[in-house]
Structure 1
Amino acid sequence: MATNTTSEAPSQTSGEAAASCTTAVPGKYGNVPITACNSYYNFNPEFAPAVAVCVLFGILTLAHMAEAYMFKKRYCWVLIMGAAWEAIGFGLHAAGAHDQQNAGYATAHNLLFLLSPLWINAFAYMTFARMVHYFLPESRVWKIKGASLAKCFVWADILAFIIQGVGGLMANPGNDSSTMKTGVDIYMGGIAVQEAFVLFFISLMVLFHRQSVSLETSIRVRERPWRPLLYALYGVLLAITVRIIFRLVEYSRGMQPSNPVPFHEAYAYALDAFPMMAAILILAVIHPGRYLVGPESEFPKKSRKERKAEKKAKKAEKQAAKAERKAGRHFAKVGELAYNESSDRGDSGSWDAYDMSEQNQARV
């Protein structure tokens, strides 16, 4: 779709280009050579492909909004955010294609395009955690409860989000070469962290898979089909991995003439946008709401009154434990004083008094 969206790679390194760049006179739609100081793109962005992809992501966003309402799955807002960011990002890219001197369009598209997959990744984590809670009798995999699994991996995704966000902002083509290089390094570190968590997460999915197969004969598992949704999540994480590998390859070779990837827009469509579109489509067809049904499919939520009562009970328990320790120290001190006084008088009952205090402390 965007195979003609190419740009000739610069004949010098990014550092040399930054040192010798000049401000070019913008042509049609603000287009300038990518080595110009006022260039915000590594290629000549095409309008039509950006509009088409924006529309497709927009349709998927609306579909997921409808399904979230239909299946009453509130946590689906996470996936909706990912799809919406993709749609908005490509809408801005289309606008930028006809206004290439607008740095805001270029920067916003770059950030939304780079960060939106993390929303999809987080949704996969949250869905699998609910599968563990719903399908497995003990609601845990590898001794990790479903609710804890969701919290741990969502926080891991947030960490990757922050790292990639900082790197993506610094790696914007409008910045100087030194800032861009630092940004690329930070971003690569962020996606490496993301992939490490993805691989560990897949290992937990395999454990879940094995446990579910072993429980296949039970009524609980037989009445709740888990395979389609698990296979869908495998597909989603595969798409995310393809996208991460693409970004690692793109940036690891640097902005050099020998590396054509950053200077051909078609690579970004084929190996980033389309895999994410496929992931969102898979989750629209095999929606978690079709398989995670009923109140048991969600993590139990305590009311405000219950949380307040639980907090009050814990506080009372701590105070009681503190009082017991204080009473124990008091008995020990009384016994010691009695022992010392009896020893001074040569009283043979001094040991008995001390022993009684020790026994009282032990009982406390």
Structure 2
Amino acid sequence: MPTLLLPTATLLQAATTVTSALPTCTTAIPDKNGHVPPDACNANYGFYPSWEDNLAFALAFGITTVLHLAQAVVFKKPFCWVVVMSALWECACFALRTLGAKDQQQSMYVTISTLLFLLAPLWLNAFIYMVLARLVHLLHPRQRALGIPAPRLAKGFVLADVVSFAVQAAGGAMMANQDGGADKVRLGQHVYMAGVGVQLAFVLVFVVVAVAFHRDLMRLRRSGKVEGPGGGRMNRWVRPLIWVVYVVLGLIVIRIIFRLVEFSQGVASTNPILQHEGFQLYLDALPMLLALVLLNFVHPGVVLKGPESSLPSSGFRWGRSAAFEPLATAGASSVELVDRRRF
């Protein structure tokens, strides 16, 4: 990433009686766009950022952001604000990178865009967890996958994503703050990699859950059962949506592996991955863009229809639990729903 660069050390001969050489660097004169060599003290980039490429990604992410926002409204799916945030953060990131390409000495562009770039995919990750949990609740007869109730499935994996988000945010902030010195940047690198590792571990576990759910659905299809407990029909979009979930998870894994490889080689300007912008554009930005566009083409809203397409609430309304509603005012279906939520 641009802000992760540590200038290559040179030796400054001491003019006083200091007994050891001090590592330092030189300040270079910027060109018309503010670019200086990566080993200069005032370098923010290890490469010459492409204004055209960053603008193209900003526009593409902007389009998918607008589409996701419109689809959330059309399909009446409030939880889709999560995927809108992912697309919006990516769009803002590349808008700042586009501005930074013409003003490379402005460190604020680099700092904010770096944090957005590193963290935006976590919103998408959480959205996929939420989508599959809702599919389980809508379509599975027992509303479970691998024995885990759909609400707990969503809460557990989203919580893991939040923890990963917090760790990666802390690491990213330390790496983005160049004033903290080389040691703090390296610490941030390790913290961020730990957060990415946690994310990867839970994604792989989630793939196992998704496969188990998919297998159960295929078994139901062969047996002729085409409706879930909430009347959720296995329409023609169910299978494409599940495959989109798989593909999006695969794209997330590609992005995670890239980041692990990138930071495993250090954050100095000598890291060859940090010297070429194309790695970031085509192994991070492009996979996330493809994932967002796929979810535009096969939006969860085409499958998640009806009351059971939303996960049940905690059961408390204005201080009162639904479990303690008088039986006289609740129909058999309400009692059944309360009982199902409890177990």
Change (3 A) 1:310 1:130: closer
Q: Which residue matches 2:166?
A: 162
Asked if 1:282 corresponds to 2:294, the answer is yes
Asked if 1:187 corresponds to 2:192, the answer is yes
Select the structure that is richer in helix: 1
Q: Distance in 1 between matches of 2:190 and 2:56?
A: 31
The secondary structure found in structure 2 opposite 1:246 is: helix
Aligned pair count reads 304
Contact 1:23 1:37 in 2 (8 A): yes
The amino acid that maps onto 1:105 is: Y
Which has the greater radius of gyration? 1
CA-to-partner distance for each residue in 1:249-287, whole Å, 9 max, x for gaps? 111122467741111001101100000000001110010
Change (3 A) 1:205 1:273: same
Q: Which residue matches 1:178?
A: 183
Asked if 1:133 corresponds to 2:143, the answer is no
Asked if 1:84 corresponds to 2:96, the answer is no
Q: Distance in 2 between matches of 1:207 and 1:16?
A: 56
The amino acid that maps onto 1:195 is: L
Asked if 1:197 corresponds to 2:202, the answer is yes
Q: Distance in 2 between matches of 1:310 and 1:279?
A: 38
Q: Distance in 2 between matches of 1:180 and 1:219?
A: 54
Asked if 1:220 corresponds to 2:220, the answer is no
Q: Which runs of 5+ in 2 are unaligned?
A: 12-21, 326-343
CA shift, 1:73, in A, is 0.6
Q: Distance in 2 between matches of 1:59 and 1:179?
A: 37
The secondary structure found in structure 2 opposite 1:215 is: helix
The amino acid that maps onto 1:106 is: V
Q: Distance in 2 between matches of 1:180 and 1:247?
A: 16
Q: Which runs of 5+ in 1 are unaligned?
A: 1-5, 314-364
**For 1:93, which of 97, 101, 120 is the aligned residue?**
97
The secondary structure found in structure 2 opposite 1:30 is: coil
Q: How does 1:309-348 map to 2 (within 5 A)?
A: 309=321
The secondary structure found in structure 2 opposite 1:19 is: strand
The amino acid that maps onto 2:195 is: G
**For 1:31, which of 29, 35, 54 is the aligned residue?**
35
Q: Distance in 2 between matches of 1:173 and 1:49?
A: 25
TM-score, reference length from structure 1: 0.78
Q: CA RMSD in A?
A: 2.4
Q: Distance in 2 between matches of 1:309 and 1:242?
A: 44
CA shift, 1:103, in A, is 1.1
Asked if 1:296 corresponds to 2:296, the answer is no
**Which sits farther off after the overlay, 13-22 or 74-83?**
13-22
CA-to-partner distance for each residue in 1:95-130, whole Å, 9 max, x for gaps? 111111111100001000010000000000000000
Contact 1:41 1:173 in 2 (8 A): no
CA shift, 1:308, in A, is 1.5
TM-score, reference length from structure 2: 0.83
Q: Which residue matches 2:331?
A: none
Contact 2:9 2:23 in 1 (8 A): yes
CA shift, 1:33, in A, is 1.5
Q: How does 1:63-82 map to 2 (within 5 A)?
A: 63-82=67-86
Q: Which residue matches 2:15?
A: none
CA shift, 1:303, in A, is 7.3
Q: How does 1:213-292 map to 2 (within 5 A)?
A: 213-216=218-221, 217-220=224-227, 223-225=233-235, 226-255=238-267, 259-292=271-304
The secondary structure found in structure 2 opposite 1:29 is: coil
